[in-house]
Copies of this chain bind each other. A is one copy, B any other.
């Protein structure tokens, strides 16, 4: 058993953990990231940067966070590409939200009104206009909303670039699972200990051992995706295509991600016949050509969801423990601003006003406040 010492230890080597760690090293903090190597949410993430098409009634605080996250994403990727020498896979080709029938169209009209009321950039397209923009759409499509500002990123490229940038900045990336918090830092599964002044918890739906009343309540929400490939190369669709029940996100190289189910099934990450069937059925009704694609991979990930669907970012009930979890459907789009907030917290800055809704202390029990 060995022990090593850092300013900051980050539990979790996904998009959130690595982004936080990269920003921490940039602020001069010696930082280690503990990556369990377990299947991770980012591996099943489509990478939609889509605050407008993701916006739902009654989630204004989340919408504001997502808009802020999306706004700075392209600049974040440019900086990351420079720092890592790798392409994070940002694509500014926009999103079409598509209705396949009258019911879908009515739901889309209501969302359109809601989004316009919020001042979001959305254009209503008639079916013929939608099919001019994306000829692969089914002739039966009833309505589409064009959202040019809803972009995408490739989470696998993003995470690879973050790991490189973090290590180039002097950070330490270690394949080990954080098992428990200690007074000095973290104890690892293999018995080693990491001494750290501050610990960042970015383990997604996975949990480490903590006192009951110091926890942030996070539950896993399973999402299944298919990774598809067009052997003829890119071009089936240019934009992300969103139906009410499925979306298709194109990559630049002819790859696609078709997602995603939403299932509350505990820690189960097995792809199921029903999940795959429904995704293929729902998307093939919008883009029939999706059935011509090759299946490269089936995968399920676990989204970390809090009771109010908002993330937990910042200090919690325990001194020196900083939360960066609970990002639910928004872990990729929120990674850069989460990293900014966490790096600020690590260097003693107070959380800005706009991040108050993500304050982890909203889940603290009366006992902890007493």
CA distance A86 to B113 in the complex (A): 66
- Residue A231 CB within 8 A of the other chain: yes
In contact, B298 and A295 (Cβ under 8 angstroms): yes
Contact between A270 and B228 (Cβ–Cβ < 8 Å)?
Answer: no
Interface segment out of the listed A102-110, A145-153, A272-280, A312-320: A272-280
Interface string of A279-292 (1 = CB under 8 A from B): 01100100000111
Q: Are B273 and A292 in contact (CB under 8 A)?
A: yes
Chain B contacts for A190, CB-based, 8 A:
none
**Minimal beta-carbon separation of A281 from chain B (angstroms):** 7
Report whether B277 and A294 are in contact in the complex, using a CB–CB cutoff of 8 Å. Answer: no
For A258, the closest partner residue in chain B by CB is B273
Cβ proximity bits A250-273 to B, threshold 8 Å, 1 near / 0 not: 000000001000000000001111
Q: Which B residues touch A277, using CB under 8 A? A: 277, 280-281, 284, 291
Residue in B228, B258, B270, B274 whose beta carbon sits within 8 Å of that of A291 in the complex: B274
- A226 contacts the other chain (Cβ, under 8 Å)? yes
With A281-B281, A298-B295 in contact, do A290 and B273 touch (Cβ < 8 Å)? yes
Find the B residue at minimum CB distance from A268.
B231
Q: From residue A3, how far is it (CB to closest CB) to chain B in Å?
A: 41
* Contact assessment for A271 and B284 in the assembled complex, using a CB-CB cutoff below 8 Å: no
The answer for the CA separation of A295 and B269 in the assembled complex, in Å, is 11
Q: How large is the interface on A (under 10, 10 to 19, 20 to 34, 35 or more residues)?
A: 20 to 34
Assembly CA distance A274 to B290 (angstroms): 8
> Please, which residues of chain B bring their CB within 8 A of the CB of A226?
273
Tell yes or no: A293 within 8 A of B by CB: yes
A345–chain B nearest beta-carbon distance, Å: 41
User: Contacting A280 at CB < 8 Å: which of B228, B231, B273, B292?
Assistant: B273
Chain B residue nearest in CB terms to A256 = B273
B271 touches A295 (CB 8 A): yes
**Among B272, B276, B293, contact of A272 (Cβ-Cβ < 8 Å):** B293
- By the criterion CB–CB under 8 Å, are B274 and A276 in contact? no
- A294–B280 touching, CB < 8 Å: no
A294 contacts across to B, CB distance below 8 A: 270-273
When chains A and B are docked, how far (Å) is the Cα of A271 from the Cα of B277? 14
In the complex, what residue of chain B is closest to A231 when comparing beta carbons?
A: B270
- Interfacial chain B residues near A270, Cβ < 8 Å: 231, 294-295
Min CB distance, A278 to chain B, in Å?
A: 8
Which residues of B sit under 8 angstroms from A298, Cβ to Cβ? 295, 298
A244 to B168, CA, bound (A): 59
In the bound complex, CA of A290 to CA of B276 (Å): 12
CA distance A273 to B228 in the complex (A): 8
> In whole Å, how far is A10's beta carbon from the nearest beta carbon of chain B?
33
User: What are the residues of chain B within 8 A of A293 when measuring CB–CB?
Assistant: 272-273
Besides A271-B295, A272-B292, A295-B298, 20 more A-B contacts (Cβ < 8 Å) are A226-B273, A258-B273, A270-B294, A272-B291, A272-B293, A272-B294, A273-B284, A273-B290, A273-B291, A273-B293, A273-B294, A274-B291, A274-B292, A276-B295, A277-B277, A277-B280, A277-B281, A277-B291, A280-B280, A281-B281
Binding site for B on A (CB under 8 A): 226, 228, 231, 258, 270-274, 276-277, 280-281, 284, 290-295, 298
User: Would you list 18 pairs from A and B whose C-beta atoms are within 8 A, ordered by A residue?
Assistant: A226-B273, A228-B273, A258-B273, A270-B294, A271-B294, A271-B295, A272-B292, A272-B293, A272-B294, A273-B280, A273-B290, A273-B291, A273-B292, A273-B293, A273-B294, A273-B295, A276-B280, A277-B291
